Structure 1
Amino acid sequence: MEDPVLLTGAGGSVGEAILQGLGDEYDWRLMFHSPPATEPDHEYLVGDVVDEETVREAVAGVGAIIHLAGDPRPSAPWASVLSNNIDGTQKMYEAAVDTGVERFVYASSNHAVGAYETDERTPEMYRTGDDYRLDGTEFPRPGNLYGVSKATGEVLGRYYHDEHDISVCNIRIGNLTEGHPPIDYERGQAMWLSYRDCAHIHECALEADYDFEIVYGISDNDRKYYSIERAKDALGYEPKDNSAEWDGDERID
């Protein structure tokens, strides 16, 4: 990709994983909500995604956007998700189409479908195979207002793709941790996304040929709540990690 890639929310853990794995692979422009603690190795700016002038400055001249910025708290109140997650995402899309950006990768979340885990789709059913796993074709079913904002971000992407032909990939990111899966947390292990698989799936989203996609961003764990078959088929995703290969914080040889 010749033009820079804009990475919003660059100071968070997902941004850290992406830059850790792909920092030398692209010409990055980073957007931080607050000044970074250390000077980044890439071009950057500090600003708020709800500020239209800042957003247009960030988007100018880039070829693709990975949009991570927003309030990441599952308990975030409505005022915050409305402003930071929904309005900020709409402003980013509007600037993208106005400036001719061709690709938009959106950090969605498993919280967009979190309420499926509360009744008929029990953990036992998830273990029986892909017939029972969520695969991205299901209707959103958020379990909190943060999830509502992520589902709304996906719908915004559908609209901007249909109206303006921008390529959109929504990645429903699972439980991202560095080094090893969550310890003594079965649900987190089933939803685990390693740092290197996080970088890889975003690289796939930057490079693959697609129109509009919703995929799950988790590693290739033996036990899964979500199917990664669409990510493999549409993006060429080839995850390397599996939470079953770990015992606590030690990898099983």
Structure 2
Amino acid sequence: MNVLLTGAYGRCGTAIIDHLHDAPSYEFTYFDRNDPDDGEYGEYDTVVADVADAQELRSAAAGQDAMIHLAGFPFADGSWQDVHQPNIIGTLNALEAAREAELETVVFASSNHVMGMYEADNAPELYFGSDAPFRLSDDDPIRPDSYYGVSKSFGEALCRYYVENYEYPKRAHAIRICSVRMPEYDHPFGDAENGADSGEFDRDSEEYEQQVARMKGMWQSRRDFAHMIECCLQTDEPGFEIFSGVSDNDRRWYSIENAQETIDYDPQDNGEEWDAPPE
């Protein structure tokens, strides 16, 4: 399967590279605004372009079977101007390129921020229970917490529109990614350790404990994320689906049942199994 991966060198894209690049089932084309010509990912050929450039994206999509669309402005504190070109125009360009190239599958990087107000209304108490008091599914009303969340809800709606109104793509899966981190912080203590390492707070502080508690609910390990991507690529069921991108954490408040039932998602990690950061 030929797969175009946009936003290849971010946190989620590199998780796919780390876990799926060498899999014999796939031939990846990496598309990113930056070419890491040295370092860990410098060995890979890259289409260096912006997803806001429709022609570049159409050219890259030609001859592909699937697209994993991760590229975009990634921060919840961004303005409308920050998200408009990369997240609105870029996602439109991605789906139009998939339609023109007759790609079977599109996997779209949505975000938990599409539903972020549920967390905002219940934090921080939400983080500290051994089991979450509720589970959010794709059937619950969207409640974006930011322009970023709005842009991702637009992307979900656009995916549905293309699948239901055009012959291609045949299927589109929106993953509401919770918390995927780079390898150094790929564990439920990751955000807390990152904050402590950068001097934002001390390891014996309430802020540190709150970050740990939140990540024990929101963490999706890099291997579980790559596994979910592969599940999306391997299914042959047509249509549009939304999946929560989270590991099998006891205190998660996002449901994974739809992913388990629809694409056989079988996460290996659970934040509750960690009682300290790795040594």
Give the structure-2-normalised TM-score.
Answer: 0.83
Give, in angstroms, the shift of residue 16 of structure 1: 0.6
Q: Does 1:245 align with 2:277?
A: no
1:189 is matched with which residue?
216
1:6 is matched with which residue?
4
Give, in angstroms, the shift of residue 169 of structure 1: 0.3
Structure richer in strand, relative to its length:
1
Match of 1:168 among 169, 172, 181: 172
Give, in angstroms, the shift of residue 91 of structure 1: 0.7
Match of 1:213 among 235, 241, 245: 241
Q: Does the residue aligned with 1:20 lie in a helix, a strand or coil?
A: helix
Q: Does the residue aligned with 1:193 lie in a helix, a strand or coil?
A: coil
Task: Please show how residues 89-100 of structure 1 align to structure 2 within 5 Å.
Answer: 89-100=91-102
Q: Does the residue aligned with 1:56 lie in a helix, a strand or coil?
A: helix
Q: Does the residue aligned with 1:93 lie in a helix, a strand or coil?
A: helix
Letter aligned with residue 235 of structure 1? I
Q: Does 1:155 align with 2:183?
A: no
Backbone CA RMSD of aligned residues: 2.0
Q: Does 1:180 align with 2:183?
A: no
Match of 1:235 among 253, 260, 263: 263
Give, in angstroms, the shift of residue 114 of structure 1: 0.2
Q: Does 1:22 align with 2:17?
A: no
Instruction: Name the CA shift for 1:35/1:250 in 2 (closer, same or farther; >3 Å).
Output: closer
Identity of aligned residues (%): 42
Task: Please show how residues 97-176 of structure 1 align to structure 2 within 5 Å.
Answer: 97-119=99-121, 123=126, 132-165=134-167, 166=169, 167-176=171-180
Give, in angstroms, the shift of residue 126 of structure 1: 8.0
Give, in angstroms, the shift of residue 188 of structure 1: 2.0
Q: Is the Cα contact below 8 Å between 1:192 and 1:243 reproduced in 2?
A: yes
Q: Is the Cα contact below 8 Å between 1:126 and 1:225 reproduced in 2?
A: no
Instruction: Compare CA radii of gyration and give the structure with the larger one.
Output: 2
Task: Please show how residues 62-101 of structure 1 align to structure 2 within 5 Å.
Answer: 62-101=64-103
1:41 and 1:161 mapped to 2: Cα distance?
35
2:37 and 2:140 mapped to 1: Cα distance?
40
Where does structure 1 lack aligned partners over 5 or more consecutive residues? none
Letter aligned with residue 178 of structure 2? G
Q: Does the residue aligned with 1:175 lie in a helix, a strand or coil?
A: coil
Instruction: Name the CA shift for 1:52/1:244 in 2 (closer, same or farther; >3 Å).
Output: same
Question: Cα deviations across residues 25-54 of structure 1 (Å, max 9, x unaligned)?
Answer: 210000011122426444421000011111
Instruction: Name the CA shift for 1:127/1:245 in 2 (closer, same or farther; >3 Å).
Output: closer
2:254 is matched with which residue?
226
Give the structure-1-normalised TM-score.
Answer: 0.92
2:91 and 2:46 mapped to 1: Cα distance?
19
Question: Cα deviations across residues 93-122 of structure 1 (Å, max 9, x unaligned)?
Answer: 011101101100000000011011233797
Letter aligned with residue 34 of structure 2? S
Q: Is the Cα contact below 8 Å between 2:127 and 2:251 reproduced in 1?
A: no
